[in-house]
Structure 1
């Protein structure tokens, strides 16, 4: 039996970054079901840091993560962020959604239809009733981030086992025993960072049920529009969140922003959903989609209130939740990793009590 102080289940960016932070003060073992870390949501992320993305709790996490992404000490020798910007456009019927997004947001600038079109020349100005831009939205170098946290974890003595899908979890006296990939592991604390499988892992442990739901999100790579170089364009999305487009290596990544409930799985693209989303994108621009070079899908897992689940389980001693990151997992990972290390090791968390309560799995106790 292999033993550690903390067993982290899940090798996405949430689990890897938390394991790296925990390894500064404890022996850590990370178990990943797939043959490599970052295989599912982390490796399929749109990878944009947007400070105003999410509800009030998530915006606090975004603010806490920003300085760690800009100066990732121990993870990289330079910022993980680079300039991009995010432009949100609205038709007449989408104006209430745009106003709702802007409510409580910071750093937004209102633009006219003509100004929006100057930033993204393929947009149809006659379809834009209003627009806002967040100049400070930035691309995240996810590969460098994940590999940097992996190096930090190993440098601090942490161990990583891949191909170790969890088969059962059981509390044995003061310790947890976890069987994964046919092997047995033991630790005083289990951190559940299993992404779309977090609900299943929690059920194995007899923990509270946060009603986590994986939602499929699709995307496609399109050739650059003829006569245009999109590399300096901002991300552009409609206020109704029914499509978005992001420059990607001189091409365009377009997503229908779909959120179809599915079981935890290696997600695949629904061709009809993708086609409908590309059609919505075509209605907002002056070009047509003639060719899709590549398409894929990933899973974004949410609790019903769309707030992550972070903290010790209220029913099950030593079982810690780090789940429900939805579409915010990459950009909030540095903050949630620090928070996880603080709470697991008993340090005072730097997040305010109201935010801690909003994240706590205790909110799911009737």
Structure 2
């Protein structure tokens, strides 16, 4: 058995765990440039914190992080999410300069109110900041595949962006490598025992002794917490399927905007010369390596063909991720009440990519006892994600 002594062990190699590890590395490099180290508790020290990332799968980002719709929408989600998304978008130019490539590209969103549906533009305009009401004629002009006869109302979100998730994950991994982060793949956590100054964690054939454990286990966050004697937070995974199909009715313009039903029964956008689409199902699931169901793929194909002339054919590829939600709908982020050695970073609920850079920086700053430098609004939003006190398991 390999034994590792570390300051922070991050359990979960999805975008939450990777962005946090990258942010911790960046904070350490800033300290090194200033000639001062920092320890995991935030005090001055001679060395940067040692970091281990533990992932049960044989690859990082195997589950939901690699199965997203690849969108960043500043108006998507509750106020706390919108604040973190705006901050993440503000950090993207620096990441793009470091990569010497673009991560974001404009992909406006057309909200479609369908004939006979109760979901209409008024509800979107009331809940989506910066959305504007538009005409059906404008929607069809910008997305000619739409059938005007199927539409009753329209709203536009001009600020939505498409994100190159592969490049973004690659950036986080490059930062981890630069900072000497130890990554243990194929190492599921099977046991955790408290120590006087942290935890002894068994993960695969490895033993990790760490001062702080970060629970970034996605759909598995509640079961993982149980291994550490912590009460579950009511985190529930939900299925979300995406499929890619060729259009047989007309050629696809890769620059078309994205379209979403206001009633949340589908969205679609170009992916090259094909169409990427989702039925937006929210089916409760156990924590698992989810696989697409034929019925969900058939449903979204039928729905989109009813409101467009795309005539989608058979899918070339489909995948399903799990959106893990807390009872409040907000992520659970912060120290376990009464135990500063156990830290929650869970329940992103489909917002993980669009909040990743800012949330990673906020958590890193919290662990290191410093100001993240993202402003009072983001700090206030972050504070509202903290776990509420609950009794420990007996």
TM-score by length of 1: 0.94
Does the CA-based 8 Å contact 2:199-2:210 persist in structure 1? yes
Work out whether 1:330 is the aligned partner of 2:353: yes
Within 1, Cα distance between the matches of 2:272 and 2:125? 29
1:99 matched to which residue of 2? 122
| Higher Cα Rg, which structure | 2
Structure 2 residue matching 1:318: 3-state secondary structure = strand
Change in 2 beyond 3 A, CA 1:364/1:115? farther
Among candidates 354, 361, 366, match of residue 387 of structure 2: 361
Does the CA-based 8 Å contact 1:48-1:331 persist in structure 2? yes
CA deviation after TM superposition for structure 1 residue 104, in Å: 5.1
Within 1, Cα distance between the matches of 2:320 and 2:236? 16
Within 1, Cα distance between the matches of 2:97 and 2:19? 11
Identify unmatched segments of 5+ residues in structure 1: none
Among candidates 6, 12, 16, match of residue 8 of structure 2: 6
CA deviation after TM superposition for structure 1 residue 187, in Å: 0.8
Change in 2 beyond 3 A, CA 1:100/1:75? farther
Work out whether 1:304 is the aligned partner of 2:327: yes
Bigger mean CA deviation after superposition, 151-160 or 272-281: 272-281
Bigger mean CA deviation after superposition, 109-118 or 268-277: 268-277
Does the CA-based 8 Å contact 2:121-2:133 persist in structure 1? no
Q: Deviations over 1:17-52 (max 9, x none)?
A: 101111324111111111111111111111101001
1:153 matched to which residue of 2? 176
Does the CA-based 8 Å contact 1:164-1:181 persist in structure 2? yes
Does the CA-based 8 Å contact 2:248-2:313 persist in structure 1? no
CA deviation after TM superposition for structure 1 residue 277, in Å: 2.6
Does the CA-based 8 Å contact 2:337-2:389 persist in structure 1? no
Over the aligned positions, Cα root-mean-square deviation in angstroms equals: 2.0
TM-score by length of 2: 0.88
Bigger mean CA deviation after superposition, 286-295 or 190-199: 286-295
Structure 2 residue matching 1:200: 3-state secondary structure = helix
Alignment of 1:1-366 (within 5 A): 1-23=3-25, 24=28, 25-72=48-95, 76-94=99-117, 96=119, 98-103=121-126, 105-349=128-372, 350=374, 352=377, 354-362=380-388
CA deviation after TM superposition for structure 1 residue 105, in Å: 3.3
Within 2, Cα distance between the matches of 1:113 and 1:58? 30
Structure 2 residue matching 1:145: 3-state secondary structure = helix
Q: Deviations over 1:270-310 (max 9, x none)?
A: 21232223222222223433322221211111111211111
Does the CA-based 8 Å contact 1:207-1:315 persist in structure 2? no
2:44 matched to which residue of 1? none
Structure 2 residue matching 1:143: 3-state secondary structure = helix
- Paired residue total: 366
Does the CA-based 8 Å contact 2:249-2:309 persist in structure 1? no
Does the CA-based 8 Å contact 1:212-1:301 persist in structure 2? yes
Does the CA-based 8 Å contact 1:113-1:129 persist in structure 2? yes
Structure 2 residue matching 1:293: 3-state secondary structure = strand
Bigger mean CA deviation after superposition, 226-235 or 318-327: 226-235
Within 1, Cα distance between the matches of 2:269 and 2:353? 17
Does the CA-based 8 Å contact 1:224-1:230 persist in structure 2? no
CA deviation after TM superposition for structure 1 residue 318, in Å: 0.9
Change in 2 beyond 3 A, CA 1:345/1:71? same
Structure 1 residue matching 2:313: 3-state secondary structure = coil
Within 2, Cα distance between the matches of 1:354 and 1:77? 33
Does the CA-based 8 Å contact 1:176-1:190 persist in structure 2? yes
Within 2, Cα distance between the matches of 1:258 and 1:222? 18
